[in-house]
Structure 1
Amino acid sequence: MDNILVNKLIENFRSKLDIFDSFMNNGASEKDISDLEKSVNQILPPSYVELLKTYNGEKKSLGVMAGFGFLTIEDVKVQWDFFKMAEGEREPESVYQKNKIKNELYSVKRIPFAHDGSGNLLCIDYDPNIEGKKGQILYLPCGDPEPISVIADDFDEFLTFLIDAIISEKLELTDERDQWDEEDWEKAEIYFNKTWENDWTDIADEYNSKH
């Protein structure tokens, strides 16, 4: 299942952008992933591991994680180390699904895997509230006064959401190569952009309606 989902995701990205692979890093090694799991003291979801083995994050900003940049292993460690240092220092602005998410902003039991460059993150949550699920996916707004929300039950469900967003073009590709001569394509704006609410509450509402 992990390979199938990851392969389908990559196939859909490549169908939208012929130079997709040029934006992505080479895959992480087994040791890199094992070291990450030891650092954060968690067993990572198999589909996330499979994706890291294929691409260790983005080489150039593309927004493949639903408009957010896919973090390299080193960047995951940097973000997580900050969580560890800042744990308990701040409460979130609000929590959208209070019974599913604990009222905390930074936690070592949340593993960031994507960012928007403004302090907002997507995380795997290993410490949910009473009605939440271990491994649920959170929108974690550390840079904007917005609610934390659950957007998927697990990483597999998040990848399925992402594939559907690519196919439906809710995740839109901006590709300005046609405005440049081929030798100047590196100057062209190329990125995937989400079309939903900035605070993800509409995606959280979709999630709530299915669960």
Structure 2
Amino acid sequence: MEPNLTEQYIAAFKSRLDILDEFMNTGAAAHKILELENFIGAKLPDSHRELLQQYDGEKRSIGFMGGFGFLGIEEINSNWTFFRDAPEIEAEGINQPEKITNTLYSINRIPFAHDGSGNFLSIDLIPNSEGTLGQILYLPTGDPEPIAVIADSFDDFLVLIIEKLKSEKLILIDERDDWDEEDWFKAEIYFEKNWANDWSDIAAE
């Protein structure tokens, strides 16, 4: 039986990093994911749910989401709460205004990845007239960069990152060779993207 998209995604990362599981949290129980969905008032994409059931976020950030860290349930909860309580403000810029509603924070955007500097990848449930419900946004709340659509769905985003891994646009920085095995926890190990910091290369594609 052919692996589903979530399994393919995990396998693509494991093919580059044999100790991937050591950096990831144990998967979330189904009822915890349901509690999250009830709290935010939205159903997560099936492939997102499957990833959370496999890994409830990252133990140590390695860039499991195209160089961004994968948020676990508690992190999604807290960041979504921040979105909910933040004042309504317009974005610094928008790459595709016909696809993106001009607001930075919204309860209808579900953060699922971050870079540790206030910038997120988010599932967008309030697309503009030419956008797609569930499209994936680069949402820069920490830097004055434009919001951009980088995939039409969570599934498309996973396919995109698998392709970036295969084409080595997403590379693994692995300094284990510089350390003895018992000291590998000190080594720099993470995935780094080679496209524009504001994701404008992918938005243009």
**TM-score higher than 0.5:** yes
Contact 1:99/1:132 (CA < 8 Å) preserved in 2? yes
Q: CA deviation at 1:149?
A: 0.4
Q: Does 1:14 align with 2:9?
A: no
Q: TM-score, normalised by structure 2?
A: 0.97
Equivalent residue runs for 1:61-210 within 5 Å: 61-88=61-88, 90-206=89-205
Query: Map of 1:22-33 to 2, 5 A cutoff?
Result: 22-33=22-33
1 CA distance for matches of 2:131 and 2:87?
20
Q: Letter of the aligned partner of 1:19 in structure 2? A: I
For each residue in 1:142-201, what CA deviation from the matched residue of structure 2 results, as whole angstroms up to 9, or x when unmatched?
000000000000000000001111111111100000011112111100000010000111
Residue-by-residue CA offset, 1:108-128 (whole Å, 9 max, x unaligned): 000000000000000000010
Q: What 5-or-longer segments of structure 2 have no aligned partner?
A: none
Are 2:4 and 1:4 equivalent residues in the alignment? Answer: yes
Determine the C-alpha separation between the residues in 1 that align with 2:74 and 2:183: 31
Task: Note if contact 1:87-1:107 (Cα within 8 Å) is conserved in structure 2.
Answer: no
Counterpart for residue 54 of structure 2 = 54
1:7 to partner: Cα distance: 0.6
Which deviations, in whole Å up to 9, do the C-alpha atoms of 1:98-142 show, x marking residues without a partner? Answer: 010000000000000000000000000001000001100000000
1:43 and 1:150 mapped to 2: Cα distance? 20
Read off the aligned partner of 2:145 and give its amino acid letter.
Answer: E
Q: Do the aligned residues in 2 keep the contact of 1:87 with 1:108 (CA within 8 Å)?
A: no
Measure the CA separation in 1 of the matches of 2:151 and 2:109. Answer: 14
- The residue number in structure 2 matching 1:209 is none
Paired amino acid for 1:61: S
- Runs of 4+ that moved beyond 2 A: none
Letter in 2 for 1:34: L
Write the deviation string for residues 72-102 of structure 1: whole angstroms up to 9, x where unpaired.
10000100000010141x2110111001000
Percent identity, aligned pairs only, is 59
What SS class does the counterpart of residue 33 from structure 2 fall into? helix
Local SS of the residue matching 1:95: coil
Residue of structure 1 in register with 2:34 after alignment: 34
CA–CA distance in structure 2, aligned partners of residues 164 and 55 of structure 1:
21
> What root-mean-square deviation, in Å, do the aligned CA atoms of Structure 1 and Structure 2 show?
0.8
Question: What is the aligned length?
Answer: 203
> SS of 1:147's equivalent?
coil
CA drift at 1:17:
0.6
Letter matched to residue 119 of structure 1: G
Q: Distance in 2 between matches of 1:186 and 1:199?
A: 30
TM-score, with length taken from structure 1: 0.95
Distance in 1, Cα, partners of 2:195 & 2:162? 15
